[in-house]
Amino acid sequence: MTAPGLGSAVAAELDKLRTLPAMLLALAGTIVAGAALGSAFAAAAVAGRVALTATEATLATVPYLQAGMLVVGAWPFTHEYAGSQIRSTLAAMPRRPRLLVAKTIATLVAAGLTAAGTVAVTWAAGAITLRAHGIPEGDVGLGSLVGAVGYLLLMGLLAAGVALLVHHLVPTLVTTLSVVMIASPLLAAQSEHARWLPDRAAQQLYAATDAVLTPGTGSLVALGWVMAIGGIAALRFVRRDA
């Protein structure tokens, strides 16, 4: 019997994600959180009489929403280790590099859908809240919204890389949340070198404020982190016992 091709492997991985309740919960939770946060930011601006466009409200929610993306990115690479499913998967698909590529594509699809859906819903919630108070939603600024989707996607990939390395959801979340939420702002307050951290670099995609990094180089730096972590993890996954 020959190993399945890449197409069927991707289809299998997508099927797993589609039928995993925790994955759907994470996806739906991120989108719902986006809607709630989007209207919360808009409502706070209305109450405080601050001018805010729906796009600005959306960008303000991104640091919160990345937590959901970390879960969405981590699940595809951890759920099979909760039991012995990884062994069934490897029996069905012994070509490990091909399996990894399939998993990565499936993760990209899931994380991309979540990121795009969340940003769209968040913007809509912000715009509706502003309209409800009789305030126009302002310029769309599609570029920064697309940047926000890109940022969220990169954070999902970062979690996926760490997840492939440590195999379990809880340690993945502790590591990535601590780095992105706690360590990165603390370091940024102290040292300009913090701009090279994955989340700081990727932030240039939707908030280009850095003196050195541009949206392009920033996302490359973040992608470099993902490739470095994921590359080591992938090497180990391919070479070692399951």
Nearer to other proteins, 10 or 114 (CB): 114
Q: Closest separation between CB of residue 82 and other proteins, Å?
A: 8
Q: Closest separation between CB of residue 6 and other proteins, Å?
A: 29
Greatest Cα pair distance in the chain: 68
Alpha-carbon distances, residue 30 vs 8, 50, 123 (angstroms): 28, 26, 14
DSSP characters over 168-186: -HHHHHHHHHIIIIIIHHH
Binding site for other proteins (CB under 8 A): 37, 40-41, 43-44, 47-48, 63-64, 67, 71, 82-84, 169-171, 173-174, 177-178, 181-183, 185-187, 189-191
Q: Closest separation between CB of residue 182 and other proteins, Å?
A: 5
Cα-Cα-Cα-Cα dihedral sign, residues 216, 218, 212, 55: positive
Q: Closest separation between CB of residue 38 and other proteins, Å?
A: 12
* Residue 208 three-state SS: coil
Nearer to other proteins, 24 or 182 (CB): 182
Q: Closest separation between CB of residue 236 and other proteins, Å?
A: 18
Nearer to other proteins, 1 or 51 (CB): 51
Alpha-carbon distances, residue 85 vs 79, 119, 130, 166, 196 (angstroms): 8, 33, 47, 16, 37
CA angle 177, 73, 116 (to 5 degrees): 105
Nearer to other proteins, 140 or 174 (CB): 174
Nearer to other proteins, 128 or 177 (CB): 177
The residue written with tokens 């490990």 in the block is 96
Tokens of 105: 């594509």
Q: Closest separation between CB of residue 224 and other proteins, Å?
A: 21
CA angle 104, 173, 194 (to 5 degrees): 90
Nearer to other proteins, 72 or 102 (CB): 72
